Structure 1
């Protein structure tokens, strides 16, 4: 049901698309909400909510809720949305790999090349790079810092909201902040982003479509995985965010040219003495 709604988004009216986005953002809340509550939260009329339900192939709102609830049932809560308790090791491995491949392909086809190019240009020209993420996104921020510090640009990653808020006050027009969040709704991260923007810092967001973070950022790179992060571990989203970081890193390396390649070669040589030679 969720995939059907995503595919039909371009054919919906502007008001119906707002209802659809609200459903996709919080499907479990949508199931529990009354038509009046949905209409009020989205800012549309109650008949629009009903028309939306019919536009996606349902007889009415209650039919939509029933079908939506059915599509959300399955998997093992807090583990994985596709595997079942009786799946063999071979089956669960195939499902996890196939889901990851599908999510990566969908993201590749949906991500905006213009937004990627703008983000790469900002990162390549930055005086300082800072990567912010909380929880699982904090790990991705650390991975990004590990990639970019080797480029000779000062780069740090912060996963503590208090440090993020303090560090954001020191960022200026020559700096770039990369904010990473699946939901894009975490208050502390949004506050830090707002502080950085007020100081003239550019913000690149890696987040979901329609999130407050996406609307706030200077450039938004959108990664929408078909998983409910409230009930399942965000495996797919993590892979998409890590891959987008890789794309940015490669793009910046290409933009910086031969000088950066020489610097990367130098850092690579520094590791040789720490590795054992292979035995023939």
Structure 2
């Protein structure tokens, strides 16, 4: 959180963030006043930093720092090399994916997630929208929710999505998906949804962005870096799918018996279709 946010913070808060990043062990033993002095700021700036990070207070910040210090040192996101062996690529990509999923899990705000779950439970229709690679995440989400009899759309075309949202109502939920948070089309769809009175959810990398600012509820993924060969783009896709899976499972769990019934019905229908298109044995 500190690594991603410090360039966007006000000067005094950035000083504190950089001090913590350079002296994490020392920071957890200090009071807010002492940390302010060490970073040439003030205790008030320390409290403002906690608010900027979406934390409950200074103790919450220190607990998170202490938790990070207990972990094994992460290798970091590693790019592939020219003519690299399949064994090495498997190891690197697996490591990148695992790290992304762990960081994403840590960044998910439980209260925001619960609010998103409740909205999706009660929604008349859920409209998922993303551009480019994020449109694949939207289509995956649509497929999941349709299987439990929840109306969902996922049109990758901007004009089609705008048409749907233009007819949305207060019982609909619009989910804007953009890893960078800078995708203009996604931000405009959420803005339009807000004007129509629909509920809005954003799924972006951690931090304030054009897209997240338009959403009532903000869900975040790990802010993975993109190396030269863009293996970070692969990791960001996995992070987005992970959050969608969590959201779906939470919604499904709240209506467990109904979910099982709908999943059985959809599975049965697919099985019937498969049996009907199998080539007949001579």
Provide, for residues 219-241 of structure 1, a one-character-per-residue CA deviation record: whole Å limited to 9, x for no partner: 11111232238972511110011
Q: Which residue number corresponds to residue 142 of structure 1?
A: 139
Give the alignment's TM-score, normalised by structure 1: 0.69
Q: Which residue number corresponds to residue 69 of structure 1?
A: none
Show the 5 A alignment for 1:10-29: 14-15=10-11, 17=13
Cα distance in 1 for residues equivalent to 2:16 and 2:224? 15
Cα distance in 1 for residues equivalent to 2:225 and 2:180? 12
Cα distance in 1 for residues equivalent to 2:191 and 2:16? 27
What's the RMSD between the two structures over aligned residues? Answer: 3.0
Q: Which residue number corresponds to residue 150 of structure 2?
A: 153
Q: Which residue number corresponds to residue 100 of structure 2?
A: 103
* Misfit runs of 4+, over 4 Å: 16-21
- State the secondary structure of the residue aligned to 1:151: coil
Provide, for residues 81-138 of structure 1, a one-character-per-residue CA deviation record: whole Å limited to 9, x for no partner: 5211153221121011101101111111221111111111100100111110100011
1:149–1:155 CA contact under 8 A, matched in 2: yes
1:128–1:174 CA contact under 8 A, matched in 2: yes
Alpha-carbon deviation of 1:185? 1.2
Q: Which residue number corresponds to residue 255 of structure 1?
A: 254
Question: Are 1:130 and 2:127 matched, yes or no?
Answer: yes
Q: Which residue number corresponds to residue 216 of structure 2?
A: 218
Alpha-carbon deviation of 1:144? 0.5
Structure 1: 5+ residue stretches without partners: 22-47, 49-79
1:225–1:236 CA contact under 8 A, matched in 2: no
Give the alignment's TM-score, normalised by structure 2: 0.69
Kindly tell me the number of residue pairs found equivalent between the two proteins.
216
- State the secondary structure of the residue aligned to 1:179: strand
Show the 5 A alignment for 1:226-265: 226-228=224-226, 232=230, 234-265=233-264
Structure 2: 5+ residue stretches without partners: 18-40, 42-76
Cα distance in 1 for residues equivalent to 2:134 and 2:15? 28
2:190–2:200 CA contact under 8 A, matched in 1: yes
- State the secondary structure of the residue aligned to 1:212: coil
2:78–2:227 CA contact under 8 A, matched in 1: no
Alpha-carbon deviation of 1:18? 6.3
2:183–2:210 CA contact under 8 A, matched in 1: no
1:118–1:219 CA contact under 8 A, matched in 2: yes
Cα distance in 2 for residues equivalent to 1:188 and 1:7? 24
1:223–1:241 CA contact under 8 A, matched in 2: yes
Cα distance in 2 for residues equivalent to 1:87 and 1:19? 41
Change (3 A) 1:197 1:20: farther
2:201–2:218 CA contact under 8 A, matched in 1: yes
Q: Which residue number corresponds to residue 31 of structure 1?
A: none
Show the 5 A alignment for 1:1-280: 6=3, 9=6, 14-15=10-11, 17=13, 82-208=79-205, 209-228=207-226, 232=230, 234-275=233-274
